[in-house]
Amino acid sequence: MHHVLWQSVLGEIELSVSHATFTTWFKNTELLDQNDTGIVIAVPNIFAKKQFEVKFNNQIKTVLAKNGVTPKRITYTVTSTSKKTRVNRETTPLTEAQQTAESLITAPVANTYTKNAPLVAAGGLNPRYTFDNFIVGSSNDLAYTASQAVAAHPGIKYNPLYLYGGVGLGKTHLMQAIGNEITKTQPGTRILYISSETFVNEFLEHIRFKKKGFSEKYRNVDVLIVDDMQFIAGKEKTQEEFFHTFNHLHQNNKQIIICSDKPPKSIPTLTERLRSRFEMGMTIDIQMPDFETRCAILTAKAELSGVSLGQDTVEYMATNIKTNIRELEGSLNQLLAYAEMRGIKPDISTAEGLLGNIRHSRPQHITSKQIIERTSKHFQLRVDEICSPKRDKHIVVPRQIAMYLLRSELHLSFPKIAGELGRKDHTTAIHSVEKIEKAIKLDFLIREQVASIREKLYA
Give 266's pLDDT tier (boundaries 50, 70, 90). Answer: confident
pLDDT for res 5: 82
A 10 A CB-CB count for 349 gives 12
Q: Which of the four pLDDT bands, split at 50, 70 and 90, describes residue 26?
A: confident
C-alpha closest to that of 418 among 409, 410, 406, 408: 406
Nearest to 443 by CA among 392, 387, 401: 401
Closest by Cα among 85, 23, 70, 19 to 48: 23
Q: Which of 225, 227, 218 is nearest to 247 (CA)?
A: 218
- Between CA 225 and CA 172 the distance in angstroms is 10
Instruction: Please give the pLDDT value at position 56.
Output: 86
Q: What's the mean pLDDT in 341-359?
A: 76
- pLDDT, tens digit (0-9, with 9 covering 90-100), for 324-337: 788 888 888 888 88
Span 142-187, pLDDT tens digits? 899 999 999 999 998 789 999 998 778 889 999 999 999 999 999 8
Helix 57-66 with 2-16: angle, nearest 10 deg: 120
> Torsion angle of alpha carbons 40, 27, 67, 3, nearest 10°?
-60
CA 395/CA 385 separation, integer angstroms: 7
Q: In this model, does residue 413 exceed pLDDT 80?
A: yes
Average pLDDT over residues 107-128: 53
What's the pLDDT at 147? 93
Kindly provide the residue ranges of all beta strands, DSSP E only, lying in 9-139, ordered along the sequence.
30-35, 38-43, 74-78
**H helix runs in 270-367, sequence order:** 272-278, 291-304, 311-320, 325-342, 348-354, 356-361
- pLDDT-derived band at 406, boundaries 50, 70, 90: very high
Cβ atoms of 414 and 430 within 8 Å: the answer is yes
Three-state secondary structure string covering 374-435 = HHHHHCCCCHHHHCCCCCCHHHHHHHHHHHHHHHHHHCCCHHHHHHHCCCCCHHHHHHHHHH
Cβ burial 41-55 (10 Å sphere, 16+ → b, else e): bbbbbebbbbbbeee
Q: Which residues contact 410 (CB under 8 A, 6 or more apart)?
A: 366, 368, 371
Q: What one-letter code names the amino acid at 55?
A: K
Helix or strand or coil: residue 82?
Answer: helix
Residue 225 predicted with pLDDT over 60 = yes
Q: Is the model's pLDDT at 101 over the cut of 80?
A: no
CA 123 to chain centre: 25
Q: Are 361 and 457 in contact, with CB atoms under 8 Å apart? A: no
Q: How large is the average pLDDT for residues 414-424?
A: 90
Total-model pTM? 0.58
Q: Assign 45 to helix, strand or coil.
A: coil
Please name which of 403, 404, 409 lies closest in space to residue 458, comparing C-alpha atoms: 409
Please compute the mean of the pLDDT values over residues 339-356 and round it to a whole number.
Answer: 82
Residue 132 pLDDT > 80: yes
Cα separation, 123 vs 82, whole angstroms = 27
**Rounded distance, CA 219 to CA 187, Å?**
19
Q: Kindly indicate the confidence band of residue 119, based on its pLDDT and cuts at 50, 70 and 90.
A: very low
User: Measured between alpha carbons, how far is 450 from 403 in angstroms, rounded to an integer?
Assistant: 11
Cα dihedral 216, 217, 219, 223 in deg (nearest 10): 160
Q: What is the signed CA dihedral for 385, 389, 391, 393, rounded to 10 degrees?
A: 30
Q: Which of 53-67, 73-87, 158-172 has the lowest mean pLDDT?
A: 73-87
Work out the number of other CB atoms within 10 angstroms of the CB of residue 101.
25
